[in-house]
Amino acid sequence: MGANNKQALTLLLMSFAICLNNAQDSTTLVPAIIIFGDSAADVGNNNYILTLFKANYPPYGRDFVTHQPTGRFCNGKLVTDMTAHVLGFTTYPSAYLSPQASGKNLLIGANFASAGAGYDDKTSILNHAIPLPKQMQYYKEYQSKLEKVAGKQKAASILKDALYTLSAGTADFLQNYYFNPYLNKISTPRQYSSYLVRMFTRIVKELYGQGARRIGVTSLPALGCLPAIKTLFGFHKSGCISRINRDAQHLNKKMNSTATRLRKQLPGLKIAIFDVFQPMYDLVKSPSDHGFAVANRGCCGTGKVETTSFFCNPKLAGTCKNATEYVFWDSVHLSQAANQVLADSLIIQGINLLG
């Protein structure tokens, strides 16, 4: 992130903080953060379900504040963690299935994300992840628990002013569409994108119906630049896979146009589609411009082909010494350092959600 952007971000957040602190006794820009989605946001829910998609063992978490694996698919913090910090939170919303998601911890929100989940429920079932409709059921449970902790009036205020985030779509293509011969046969990538957007629309409308008014949604990343995808579909070529990036960009375009329509349909809704694609693409194409040395493989495992966390294991393959030099932590997920670059960009993009 350039110096001018950082300065602009600081000024904007300071102005919001001044307005907020004049209105209420709070050190955070929103009262809570409520998180839905996939492995980009999962902070440990998959630790409590039967699935291969887990990150609850070393070297995951080696650069986290506790230096312990938490269930985050990263060596350290996720973008959602960094966003929480910028918004003034000193701790992070707990994984809803964890024992920590109880009592006063619920006042700052909850995290329902599950690695392997998608807009397509069949993706979630295939990966033994928590489907988005089930995540929504957990959210309704959370509302009842929050009322018991905060009281009905305060709980309603928290839910109304909270920031809601949603990340999905990557697993739909990466673990479903591209490897499902039947799905390939009956749907083109664009037709499948249209289906995913319908599911996305349904989730947003349901969140709105449950009181959400500030919703930030991440776009698909540059899927064709993931080390796993480049290994499987690149035929040993060094660059990103253009056709797969085009699929991601097509879905992103549809999501943006859908978000514009939803703003008009749903009074009071603030929704932003965060562009993850371009910042990540820039990191991969010009890593040295951002202080990185390696962008063609992950730090952990062989870093090239694994699409589950199983091979990111020191017993099976090596791990780099300095993850800050790597754009990718494993063959699919970004390193903490790369997540910071994305977080800086997304906070600027989502500033209107705070007004």
pTM reported for the whole predicted model = 0.92
Q: Roughly what angle, to the nearest 10 degrees, separates helices 336-349 and 79-86?
A: 50
Task: With cut-offs at 50, 70 and 90, classify the pLDDT of residue 317.
Answer: low
Cα 49 to Cα 138: distance, rounded to the nearest angstrom:
14
Contact yes or no for 114/130 (Cβ under 8 A): yes
CA atoms within 13 A on the CB side of 77: 18
Cα 327 to Cα 293: distance, rounded to the nearest angstrom:
8
**DSSP state letter for 234:** S
Cα 99 from chain centre: 22
Catalytic residue check, 330: yes
Whether the pLDDT of residue 307 is over 80: the answer is no
Whether the pLDDT of residue 189 is over 60: the answer is yes
pLDDT attached to residue 22? 38
Catalytic residue check, 39: yes
Higher pLDDT, 151 or 10: 151
The domain defined by 26-291+336-354 folds into Rossmann fold (3.40.50)
> What residue segments make up the domains of the chain, in order of their start?
26-291+336-354
Whether the pLDDT of residue 303 is over 80: the answer is no
pLDDT attached to residue 326? 97
Cα 284 to Cα 294: distance, rounded to the nearest angstrom:
8
**Arithmetic mean of pLDDT, 244-266:** 98
Torsion of CA 331, 334, 336, 340, to 10 degrees: 170
**Arithmetic mean of pLDDT, 78-96:** 96
Catalytic annotation, pick one of 39, 94, 124, 345: 39
**Arithmetic mean of pLDDT, 263-275:** 97
**Arithmetic mean of pLDDT, 144-167:** 97
pLDDT attached to residue 234? 82
Catalytic annotation, pick one of 94, 219, 333, 335: 333
Higher pLDDT, 278 or 239: 278
Catalytic annotation, pick one of 275, 330, 331, 344: 330
Whether the pLDDT of residue 4 is over 70: the answer is no
- Residues paired with 44 in a beta bridge: none
Q: Residue 34 in 3-state DSSP?
A: strand
Whether the pLDDT of residue 87 is over 90: the answer is yes
Paired tokens of 303: 């870093």
